[in-house]
Amino acid sequence: MSNHSPVSNESLAPSAPESEPQHDRSRILRSVKGPAQFLSFWVAIALPFVHLPLLAQGLGDPAVTLAFVVLLTANVFALYLGHGYNQH
């Protein structure tokens, strides 16, 4: 005697295509993380050299002050993103 069920086992299992986009997204994020940290680390190293001419010129001009603040903000953001670069 065979036991035939009206519901197949395939309908009870979670479908694989639904979990695949999540897997692809995490794989893409992992592949982008290393280069993003590398670039952010070196941008954070280089940006202070751009600050020097602005500071030498003085921050009396509002445009120079704005440029300095924008570059300083970018430097802090780059430091945050690149802080884990090359750590094992």
Alpha carbons 52 and 55: distance in angstroms, whole number: 5
The pLDDT value recorded for residue 32 is: 85
Does residue 50 lie within any of the structural domains? yes
Q: What is the mean pLDDT of each run of 10 residues along the chain (88 residues)?
A: 58 55 80 88 93 92 94 95 81
Does residue 80 lie within any of the structural domains? yes
Structural domain boundaries enclosing 70: 44-88
The pLDDT value recorded for residue 11 is: 53
CB atoms within 10 A of CB 75: 18
Overall domain count for the chain: 1
Does residue 88 lie within any of the structural domains? yes
